[in-house]
Chains A and B, each alone.
Chain A
């Protein structure tokens, strides 16, 4: 704007009446005031879309998901999301009943072990990876750990957009290590034999009562039984099924794996499978309360430690290390996670809006880490190099566990398999059942379930 031009209105102003000035000012103010309204009106002119979205409860993860959903609604006023959440173990059942009654949500967070069931029934819509911000399916799959890709990508299509994905680590109580003359940084168990020996050394008993268990396997749910045992089976060279779909847990590798699983209690006397204060919401409770020195667990948020044992957090006498291996240094864990999925029965505009919402949710993984650390996002890019991530204690162990981990079995009879293994382990650990006989019973039960499964 030149001085000349600017001088013109000034000279004209002198000719305006007071009413003119007031009118112009009022019109300007009105225009300024209505500008955002008109933008909103323009957005509202878009067809209103009502979406239902379900997830699971977790003190860190659920509030973050809810926050991002609310932010998406603010940016997209025509989209209304009915956000609901359920207990971790109930979500899959709720979704099943939803599909049965026609009330399934348009989108939901699926635990990855349910993916084969939904996919076999054709209940999930394939995702448009370009809409999610990827140039191709390859760039999409390259951005995630192989364990995730195995579960969510089928026949060249992606059916799940991964949220969090993590491996189990062995949480040590370093104070208790020190008490028995061990240095957790050096002496952490690298093999299963070492785990037994170290656990035995850490164990304290009064008569037949354990006042401290050196190590603790979870015994409270089938889900945790599977998380913890899956890696042992793979490390022993075993597999859940052969190519024909027959359950092979009762072969030599399965026997070896189950013998390792049982050895901590039976051979080393370092745990009491019947004595636990663990619950569904807090499986790591025995370790948090220092009744167990070591425990295999997903990454534990500092808030969860603080809520049960503030001293442990403030003094920092804990650390995660990798799973032991059959061979030293070759230990790896189970990796599992959660996918954002779209109901195939949802209307097209809802499917598109959901994918836009998922893209938005995952667009700021630094924010995800800030609210939910140390649950690592499944995506490789966009978060691990951030300073707040790098400075998090032992974050490398958590990322290594995720990247090296082996997936849970991809099967349509996952729940039957999990329950059969859980019951079998109870029989072996609590009632001294013969391992081989029990494995045979597990395999027979799973094979019956497989035979009874009828794909759509």
Chain B
């Protein structure tokens, strides 16, 4: 196109338009990449949730049947409940433990640096290895139970008792991910100017007041980030329940991502698996928006 990018002439493009065109040119490959490999499959999954598809014959439209089947399916209801408990339990504990560890390290407890390195190592262990190690540690007569022997407890069926299995998996999740988020919290804590604490100290604020009135409000964006990211991470959890309990006993640790896998690849009901994916996506969306509203309201309040 002669003259397209030249100054002067009847068809010349203004400077800011040229800048826009260059900008579009730069981001277009990325947009196309996401459109084809991320949003395309997501839309396809939504479409598939209205179809019957066994992966071997052509999909057929069945309207809302997959969703109706889900509502009537006690396994889905149990998995949904487990997923919500898992998200709630692991997100709150990861946030609390991560923040607690970060505060402890910032206050320079003796050997803090070594603790930090040691704890962060849990993130470097492959997840399969983590699952295998914890399966042994949580054996009815394993190390975790042996730690309780002084209290007269001789046997705990951590992974084979319906009431304990999900909390045990939440515990392992926190063990693995809290140190990672501790680093995020630590970065947030270090970004808070020391002057604020000095001023508060001069005004006679004790440690709890300083934490409550300075640290927490200024750390709010970091907390929001950690809560949202760990919740999304928890919503998609698959390998831990899959390898540690196989979803059992019964359906006690079956979560939605496991049910998606089983329904799609073991029972060859891809349409129904897509419907479960849509439900899981909706949960994550609602949770993220709720968190955003909550934190926006908190920020407005603090500004007000």
Contact surface of A with B, Cβ cutoff 8 Å: 93, 96-97, 99-100, 117, 121, 123, 207-209, 221, 272-275, 413, 415-416, 419, 422-424, 426-427, 430-431, 433, 441, 445, 448-449, 452, 454, 456
- Give me 4 other A-B pairs in contact (C-beta within 8 A), A123-B56, A273-B160, A423-B249 excluded: A99-B56, A209-B155, A274-B140, A426-B249
A93 touches B73 (CB 8 A): no
Nearest A-chain residue to B58, judged by Cβ: A456
Q: Does residue B161 face the partner (Cβ distance < 8 Å to A)?
A: yes
Tell me whether chain B's interface is mostly helix, strand or loop, or mixed: loop
Of the candidates B52, B69, B154, B251, the one whose C-beta lies within 8 Å of that of A454 is B52
Binary contact track B228-256/A, C-beta < 8 Å → 1, others 0: 00000000000000000011111100000
Given the complex, which residues of B lie within 8 Å of A419, measured CB to CB? 262, 266
A117 touches B268 (CB 8 A): yes
**Residue tally, chain B, CB below 8 Å to A:** 34
Q: A275 CA to B156 CA in the complex, in Å?
A: 11
B267 touches A415 (CB 8 A): yes
B154 touches A208 (CB 8 A): yes
Q: A207 CA to B74 CA in the complex, in Å?
A: 38
- Shortest CB distance B116–A (Å): 35
Q: A275 CA to B158 CA in the complex, in Å?
A: 11
A99 touches B157 (CB 8 A): no
Of the candidates A99, A431, A441, A452, the one whose C-beta lies within 8 Å of that of B272 is A452
Of the candidates A93, A121, A221, A272, the one whose C-beta lies within 8 Å of that of B265 is A93
Q: Does residue B57 face the partner (Cβ distance < 8 Å to A)?
A: yes
A431-B249 contact in complex given A96-B55, A100-B55, A275-B139, C-beta closer than 8 Å: yes
Of the candidates B139, B155, B268, the one whose C-beta lies within 8 Å of that of A96 is B268
Given the complex, which residues of B lie within 8 Å of A121, measured CB to CB? 54, 56-57
Q: A277 CA to B88 CA in the complex, in Å?
A: 32
A426 touches B154 (CB 8 A): no
Given the complex, which residues of A lie within 8 Å of B73, measured CB to CB? 448
Nearest B-chain residue to A445, judged by Cβ: B75
A275 touches B140 (CB 8 A): yes
Q: A97 CA to B264 CA in the complex, in Å?
A: 10
Given the complex, which residues of A lie within 8 Å of B74, measured CB to CB? 441, 445
Q: Does residue B269 face the partner (Cβ distance < 8 Å to A)?
A: yes
Binary contact track B34-66/A, C-beta < 8 Å → 1, others 0: 000000000000000000101111001000000
Interface residues in B132-165 by Cβ distance below 8 A to A read: 139-141, 154-155, 157, 160-162
Given the complex, which residues of B lie within 8 Å of A430, measured CB to CB? 157, 160-162, 248-249
Q: A137 CA to B156 CA in the complex, in Å?
A: 57
Q: A298 CA to B248 CA in the complex, in Å?
A: 25
Q: A294 CA to B265 CA in the complex, in Å?
A: 34
Nearest A-chain residue to B139, judged by Cβ: A275
A-B contact pairs, 28 of them (CB 8 A): A93-B266, A96-B55, A96-B268, A97-B265, A99-B55, A100-B55, A121-B56, A121-B57, A209-B154, A221-B246, A273-B160, A274-B157, A274-B160, A275-B141, A413-B267, A419-B262, A423-B249, A424-B250, A426-B160, A426-B249, A426-B250, A427-B162, A430-B248, A431-B161, A431-B249, A441-B74, A448-B72, A452-B69
A423 touches B141 (CB 8 A): no
Q: A272 CA to B249 CA in the complex, in Å?
A: 15
Q: A424 CA to B248 CA in the complex, in Å?
A: 10
Q: A272 CA to B141 CA in the complex, in Å?
A: 12
Given the complex, which residues of B lie within 8 Å of A123, measured CB to CB? 56
Interface residues in B46-103 by Cβ distance below 8 A to A read: 52, 54-57, 60, 69, 72-75
Nearest B-chain residue to A92, judged by Cβ: B266
Nearest B-chain residue to A89, judged by Cβ: B266
- Shortest CB distance A94–B (Å): 9
Given the complex, which residues of B lie within 8 Å of A99, measured CB to CB? 55-56
Q: A454 CA to B65 CA in the complex, in Å?
A: 13
A207-B249 contact in complex given A93-B265, A96-B268, A430-B162, C-beta closer than 8 Å: no
Q: A131 CA to B19 CA in the complex, in Å?
A: 71
Q: A247 CA to B43 CA in the complex, in Å?
A: 37
- Name the 4 nearest CB pairs between A and B, nearest first: A100-B55, A274-B160, A426-B249, A427-B250
Q: A453 CA to B60 CA in the complex, in Å?
A: 13
Interface residues in B245-298 by Cβ distance below 8 A to A read: 246-251, 262, 265-270, 272
Given the complex, which residues of B lie within 8 Å of A449, measured CB to CB? 267
Q: A416 CA to B54 CA in the complex, in Å?
A: 14
Given the complex, which residues of A lie within 8 Å of B262, measured CB to CB? 419
A96 touches B154 (CB 8 A): no
Nearest B-chain residue to A415, judged by Cβ: B266
Q: A99 CA to B56 CA in the complex, in Å?
A: 6
Of the candidates A207, A416, A431, A456, the one whose C-beta lies within 8 Å of that of B267 is A416
- Shortest CB distance B256–A (Å): 16
Given the complex, which residues of A lie within 8 Å of B251, measured CB to CB? 423
B56 touches A452 (CB 8 A): no
Given the complex, which residues of A lie within 8 Å of B52, measured CB to CB? 454
- Shortest CB distance B76–A (Å): 11
Q: A174 CA to B265 CA in the complex, in Å?
A: 42
Q: A413 CA to B55 CA in the complex, in Å?
A: 15
B249 touches A427 (CB 8 A): yes
Given the complex, which residues of B lie within 8 Å of A272, measured CB to CB? 140
- Shortest CB distance B55–A (Å): 3
Q: A428 CA to B54 CA in the complex, in Å?
A: 32
Given the complex, which residues of B lie within 8 Å of A273, measured CB to CB? 160
Q: Which of A96, A415, A448, A449 has the most CB of B within 10 A?
A: A96
Nearest B-chain residue to A441, judged by Cβ: B74
B157 touches A207 (CB 8 A): no
Nearest A-chain residue to B263, judged by Cβ: A416
- Shortest CB distance A315–B (Å): 29
Nearest B-chain residue to A422, judged by Cβ: B248
- Shortest CB distance B37–A (Å): 16
Q: A425 CA to B157 CA in the complex, in Å?
A: 16
